[in-house]
Amino acid sequence: MTATITSLTGMRFAKGHGTGNDFVLIADPGGMRELASEQIAALCDRRRGIGGDGLIRAVRSRNIADGTAILEENPAAEWFMDYYNADGSLSEMCGNGVRVFVHFLVTQGLVALEAGEKLAIGTRGGIKYVARLGEGYQVDMGPWGFIFPEESGQGSDSLVEASGLEVARPALSITLGNPHTVVALADLAELATVNLTLTPVVTPLPLHGTNVEFAVPAEPLVKDDVGHISMRVHERGVGETLSCGTGACAAAAATRFWAGSGTPDLWAVALPGGVLGVRFQPGPDGREHVHLSGPAVMVAEGVLA
């Protein structure tokens, strides 16, 4: 381990993943263990650290700076998901991460959650409601929106250049609390040619950068009332990952928008790491909410040497 994590000797950690999107998890109920971005990057290093696409710190909402606002909105949102990308940068939200986060709280005995029950979780992207569902979890991600609302009516609002694609492609930028830019590709052969070891260039780039999804609508798009998409993702602050929950929601929202009326509410999004479910349904606030479902797996627990 590098010098930056020797300062964390004795700290307990866990490792978990959702469809191959993996995270280092730390329980810090009292909010005593704020990590520097160099320490987070060192912990997420796959050769010299534990390895992960991101790091999640579990803190009681009352012990974080903006905790009062969260608890005023919903006093039941006792836990806050403090999420960081592998390079140590902050993100507002992580769809796979919030399922793994709740599974971590449950397996650590920090919360009790029976099948069918839901838990309110504070995030930088607002309060999310996570329900335990069979083998996995379903998350009410709240409403999605366009990042460039004025331009989005044209069907695209930006251009994406990526290694392996000869010309820049039109794309649509969508927020799920965190930013996404979705590009539609023709088929799986084209999806395989995109080289995501290089960061795609997005113009105009959303203010805080963006995650980029390359999505292929299935042929036919709808089978048994379910829309089908395959996708790969380049995550802000990470690189290519095996899966991205908020990215799957953004890809489904963009594809549904492009396909127009008559498309289903339920979508299956196939990623290199597995399949995620995305459902669009009216929320308690009368707006259309996106629900993400998928597995959450704990793989290890340990103590930093």
Q: First-to-last CA distance in the chain?
A: 8
Nearer to ligand LBFN2T5F among residue 152 and residue 241 (C-beta): 241
Residue 94 interacts with ligand LBFN2T5F (CB under 6 A)?
yes
Amino acid at 22: D
Question: Of 139, 244, 251, 276, which is the active-site residue?
Answer: 244
Count of residues that interact with ligand LBFN2T5F, criterion CB under 6 A:
19
Cα→Cα distances 297→14, 85, 90, 96, Å: 11, 19, 23, 10
Between 71 and 277, name the residue whose CB sits nearer to ligand LBFN2T5F: 277
Which alpha helices (DSSP H) does the chain contain, by range? 3-6, 37-44, 67-73, 95-107, 149-152, 188-193, 245-259
Part in contact with ligand LBFN2T5F (CB under 6 A); list of ranges 138-146, 167-175, 234-242, 263-271: 234-242
Q: Which of 17, 128, 232, 236 binds ligand LBFN2T5F (CB under 6 A)?
A: 236
Q: Is 124 annotated as a binding residue?
A: no
Closer by beta carbon to ligand LBFN2T5F, 4 or else 211: 211
The secondary element (H helix, E strand) that includes residue 231 is strand 226-235
Rule CB under 6 A: choose which of 156, 246, 255, 293 binds ligand LBFN2T5F.
246
CB contact at 8 A, 278 and 250 = no
In which element (H, E) is residue 1 found? Answer: none
Q: x/- contact string, 180-219, with ligand LBFN2T5F (CB under 6 A)?
A: -------------------------------x--------
Beta bridge partners of 160: 169, 202
With CB under 6 A as the contact rule, the residue among 227, 245, 277, 295 that binds ligand LBFN2T5F is 245
CA 289 to chain centroid, in Å, comes to 16
Q: Is 178 annotated as a binding residue?
A: yes
Question: Active site includes 94?
Answer: yes
From residue 115, alpha-carbon distances to 79, 132, 133, 141, 281 in Å are 19, 5, 6, 19, 21
User: Which of 61, 85, 152, 255 is the binder for ligand LBFN2T5F (CB under 6 A)?
Assistant: 85
The least distance separating ligand LBFN2T5F from the CB of residue 102, rounded to whole angstroms, comes to 13
